[in-house]
Amino acid sequence: MTPISVLFPSAGLRVTDRVLAAWAGDDDQGVLRRLSIVADEVARVFGAASWFVSRQHGAMLAEEMGWLLRSRSAGPLPLDLGTGQDFHPDEYPATRRALDGGGYYASLTDGDEAERALIARMGYVSTLAAGERAADGSGWLVELFGDGATSSGMVVALPLLRALVHLAVAGAAPAISRERG
């Protein structure tokens, strides 16, 4: 493996504080809302083109929410243009592993073959994802997608994204309740 040198955006040093503050100030403490905050904050720091939050119901993974950050139609993705689609995690081994509490990075030239093919079909050049299994057994996944303008250093955000996704799914609500109480 050839070492690479990447820059970590200075805004990334404050993203955890922004996420925690947003959670503490938000009346909606649902997992989907917390994950959308994580996805949006991390995506903006690293210049991602879009993000999605998905939930596994039984055998299928369904996109619950998505946001385009850079395109002619930036904003929330209408359900018929991206979210609401179902995928079978077994067709995407890296995704399947992430749903059980992991993460991955893939580009057009590196990573799981199924993930590389997916980002090519979607017109992106990279993806960064992290997931977590909730207490009720459902799996949650946050995916950030990069285009040519996305920081090549997005890969260094994997531990950050992984930790924030874990907190959003498994550990944020009790901590926020203690802070408010």
- Whichever domain contains 119, its CATH number is 3.30.450.40
Question: Tokens for 149?
Answer: 């303008």
Cα distance between residue 69 and residue 71, in whole Å? 7
* Domain assignment of residue 112, given as a range: 28-180
The CA-based angle 36-42-47, given to 5 degrees, is 115
**3-class SS at 60?**
strand
In a domain, 8, yes or no: no
- Please check whether residue 35 is in contact with residue 140, taking contact to mean a CB–CB distance below 8 angstroms: yes
In a domain, 68, yes or no: yes
In a domain, 101, yes or no: yes
Rg (CA), the chain: 16
The chain-wide mean pLDDT, for the chain, equals 82
- Please check whether residue 119 is in contact with residue 106, taking contact to mean a CB–CB distance below 8 angstroms: yes
Q: Please name which of 66, 79, 81 lies closest in space to residue 141, comparing C-alpha atoms.
A: 66
Q: Is the pLDDT of residue 175 over 50?
A: no
In a domain, 104, yes or no: yes
In a domain, 129, yes or no: yes
In a domain, 67, yes or no: yes
Q: Label residue 3 by pLDDT band (50, 70, 90).
A: low
> Which residues are registered as beta bridge partners of 53?
65, 142
List, for residues 119-155, the tens digit of each pLDDT value: 998 889 999 999 999 999 999 999 999 988 887 778 8
* Backbone phi, psi, residue 15, to 5°: -65, -40
- Look up the pTM and report it: 0.83
In a domain, 173, yes or no: yes
b or e along 139-159 (b: 16 or more beta carbons within 10 Å of the residue's beta carbon)?
bbbbbbbbbeebbbbbbbbbe
The total number of structural domains in the chain stands at: 1
In a domain, 20, yes or no: no
Cβ neighbours for 51, distance < 8 A, ≥ 6 positions apart: 39, 40, 43, 66, 67, 69, 142, 143, 144, 145
Which range, 9-18, 124-133, 165-174, is most confident? 124-133
